Homo-oligomer: A and B are copies of this chain.
Amino acid sequence: MAKKLTSRTEDYSKWYNELVVMADLAENSGVRGCMVIKPYGYAIWEKMQAELDKKFKETGHVNAYFPMFIPKSYFSKEASHVDGFAKECAVVTHYRLKNDPNGKGVIVDEDAKLEEELIVRPTSETIIWSTYKKWIQSYRDLPLLINQWANVVRWEMRTRLFLRTSEFLWQEGHTAHATEAEALVEAKLMCDVYADFAQNFMAMPVVKGVKSESERFAGALETYCIEALMQDGKALQAGTSHFLGQNFAKAFDVKFQPKEGKPEYVWATSWGVSTRLMGALVMTHSDDKGLILPPNLAPWQVVIVPIHRNDEQLEQINEKANELMKALRAKGVSVKYDNRTSFKPGWKFNEYEMKGVPVRIAIGPKDLENGTVELARRDLLEKQFVAMEDVETMVPALLEEIQNSMYNKALSYRNEHITEVNDFETFKDLLETKTGFLSCHWDGTTETEDKIKTLTKATIRCIPLDAKEEEGVCILTGAPSTKRVLFAKSY
């Protein structure tokens, strides 16, 4: 690492952009707004995928794959959906190129124009519900509990690695149910699944809530969400789960025959998380030395670095390191041994600090004499010498301790940054100074929400599911309100 990372206090945004690249997570590509997810970043995403996929399957879901192209006319079928999604998107108009008759290269063949343009999916409700129409006839076909892992495209003018890119990777669940109650249970369940994942795997505390009307998914009757707080006091929406009512069933005419009575429209949910979670992970935990990974998501939980002056020493260390690796792997710990001679130990220390490997073990000639190793934990940057024979029992416990400690640290920060505010002057002031979530009364109107946004750039991140019933008055209009909502500036 020749280049030093900008510090968070100096420029938080710059710190983030640099860290993502320097920790080998992702980088910008030659295609505007599209990123390359580098192997190390992708390995973390694979860990996220594996755990989420397991949770989805445990809750009865199966995976499938639907076309990434959506005929333009499909979007027009659900009125509010088209406004939300059929605007900034990639449009395929032709299906052939030809050699340029005037010179080098290729040009679009105007004879190969599509009769109807195809949209690269920004989300798949329309293509999936046009398919569900064929799959659902009877109550025996319900529920349909289907998930898809896919790439999607939303043409963004201002992009940032992971947080907002034109193409991103995600999963989207799309379920169909016989009753409203069952669909509501599903939408809430998946919000819980996301919250559980965020807290126990990403060590990222989240608030579960519902969105206000203006922040709802286009086509949803209710949007459940998990909201996290980043180290700069801005909120980040980390996952959403939508109760879609019968909107898409009506738009695509999907009815089922119940056990008794007349055919009825089907009830729907959809839910998703994306590679945006990678951005959330970075901004929840990392420091001025680079990434800090919770052990549950680290591609390597432990890295072993040999410290040696000559080949003979290296050989002796290799022997010990291999024993240690074997013992740790037997305990389910993922270990990398970096004994490349083309890089110096100091370079490696910086490299694995930048990459956020939770535990580093260094072994030098002195350690061989003393039967010790140097054990360093990334999150607290603490080092200690421990007996080599204790390492295999200490490390699994240490990894658990790091996982919990990272969560608790993030939780303390988050809780310290939820402030109850009762007047608009303090509200404005806090947004500029302390930041974080501001817990306030609101009169429930979109008009007020919009005004507050215009005045302060803060929006309602969610109405917490556990909000207490409490009499109060709207922070802007003074109109009566029965519970507090969370405002924040957000990503």
Interface stretch of the complex, out of A102-110, A308-316, A457-465: A102-110
Q: Name A93-138 residues within 8 Å CB distance of B.
A: 93-98, 104-106, 108, 117-120, 127, 130-131, 134
Q: How far is the CA of A146 from the CA of B74 in the complex (A)?
A: 37
Q: Name A388-410 residues within 8 Å CB distance of B.
A: none
Interface centre among A65, A119, A131 (most CB of B within 10 A): A65
Known contacts A106-B72, A131-B29; A89/B82 CB under 8 A: no
- Contact yes or no, B106 A97, CB < 8 A: no
Q: In angstroms, how far is the closest chain B Cβ from the Cβ of A140?
A: 5
C-beta contact mask, A74-96 vs B, less than 8 Å → 1, else 0? 11100000100011111111111
> Residue A381 at the B interface, CB < 8 A?
no
- Contact yes or no, A42 B67, CB < 8 A: no
Partner of A69, one of B90, B117, B146: B90
- Contact yes or no, B39 A63, CB < 8 A: yes
- Contact yes or no, A71 B106, CB < 8 A: no
A-side interface residues, number (CB < 8 Å): 64
Interface stretch of the complex, out of A30-38, A205-213, A280-288: A30-38
Q: In angstroms, how far is the closest chain B Cβ from the Cβ of A328?
A: 19
> Residue A430 at the B interface, CB < 8 A?
no
- List residues of chain B with CB within 8 A of the CB of A30: 71, 74, 127, 130-131
- List residues of chain B with CB within 8 A of the CB of A45: 65
- Contact yes or no, A62 B90, CB < 8 A: no
- Contact yes or no, B92 A90, CB < 8 A: yes
- List residues of chain B with CB within 8 A of the CB of A96: 87-89, 91, 155
Q: How far is the CA of A63 from the CA of B169 in the complex (A)?
A: 14
- Contact yes or no, B92 A91, CB < 8 A: yes
> Residue A424 at the B interface, CB < 8 A?
no
Q: How far is the CA of A125 from the CA of B69 in the complex (A)?
A: 23
Select from chain B the residue with minimum beta-carbon distance to A34. B67
- Contact yes or no, A86 B97, CB < 8 A: yes
Q: How far is the CA of A282 from the CA of B31 in the complex (A)?
A: 38
- List residues of chain B with CB within 8 A of the CB of A89: 95-97
- 4 smallest CB-CB distances across A and B, nearest first, come from A34-B67, A39-B62, A37-B65, A76-B105
> Residue A181 at the B interface, CB < 8 A?
no
Could you tell me which A residues sit within 8 Å of B by CB distance? Answer: 27, 29-31, 34-39, 42-43, 45-46, 62-76, 82, 86-98, 104-106, 108, 117-120, 127, 130-131, 134, 140, 146, 150-151, 155, 167, 169, 342-343
- Contact yes or no, A155 B95, CB < 8 A: yes
Q: In angstroms, how far is the closest chain B Cβ from the Cβ of A69?
A: 5
Select from chain B the residue with minimum beta-carbon distance to A62. B39
Select from chain B the residue with minimum beta-carbon distance to A104. B76
Partner of A36, one of B27, B88, B92, B131: B131
Q: How far is the CA of A68 from the CA of B31 in the complex (A)?
A: 9
Select from chain B the residue with minimum beta-carbon distance to A133. B30
* Cross-chain pairs A/B with CB under 8 angstroms, 18 sampled: A29-B127, A30-B130, A31-B69, A35-B67, A36-B131, A37-B65, A39-B62, A39-B63, A42-B64, A42-B65, A68-B167, A72-B106, A88-B96, A93-B108, A96-B155, A108-B117, A140-B343, A151-B151
- List residues of chain B with CB within 8 A of the CB of A342: 140
